[in-house]
Structure 1
Amino acid sequence: MDTAELIVTDKVDETIEKIIGGGLNRFNDDHVGYGDRRPLAVLVRDPDTEEIVGGASGKTSLGLLFLDLFFLPPALRGQGIGTEVLGKFEEEGRRRGCQSAVVYTISFQAPDFYVRHGWTIFGKIPCDPPGTHRVFLSKAL
Structure 2
Amino acid sequence: MMEITSGTTEDGQWIREQLIAYNRQHVPATLFTETEPYCFLAWDEDEQLLGGVTASYVWNHLQVHFLWVDPENRIGGTGKQLMAKIESIAEEKSCSKILLDTFSFQAPGFYEKLGFEEYGRLPDHPAEGQTQYFFVKHL
Alignment equivalent of 2:111, drawn from 111, 114, 125: 114
Quote the residue 2:33 is aligned against.
36
Deviations 1:51-99, CA, capped at 9 Å, x for gaps: 8774221212222221122112223322111111101111101211211
Q: Which runs of 4+ in 1 moved over 6 A?
A: 47-53
Q: Which residue of 1 aligns with 2:134?
A: 136
Contact kept? 1:42, 1:89, Cα under 8 Å? no
Structure 2 gap segments, 5+ residues each: none
Q: Which residue of 1 aligns with 2:91?
A: 94
Structure 1 residue corresponding to 2:16, chosen from 14, 21, 33 = 21
Percent of aligned positions with the same letter in both sequences?
A: 23
For the structure 1 residues 92 and 16, does the alpha-carbon distance in structure 2 shift closer, same or farther, using more than 3 Å as the test? farther
Q: How many residues are aligned here?
A: 136
Change (3 A) 1:70 1:133: same
Provide the TM-score with structure 2 as the length reference.
0.78
RMSD across aligned positions (CA): 3.0
Change (3 A) 1:21 1:59: farther
Higher mean C-alpha deviation, range 65-74 or range 47-56: 47-56
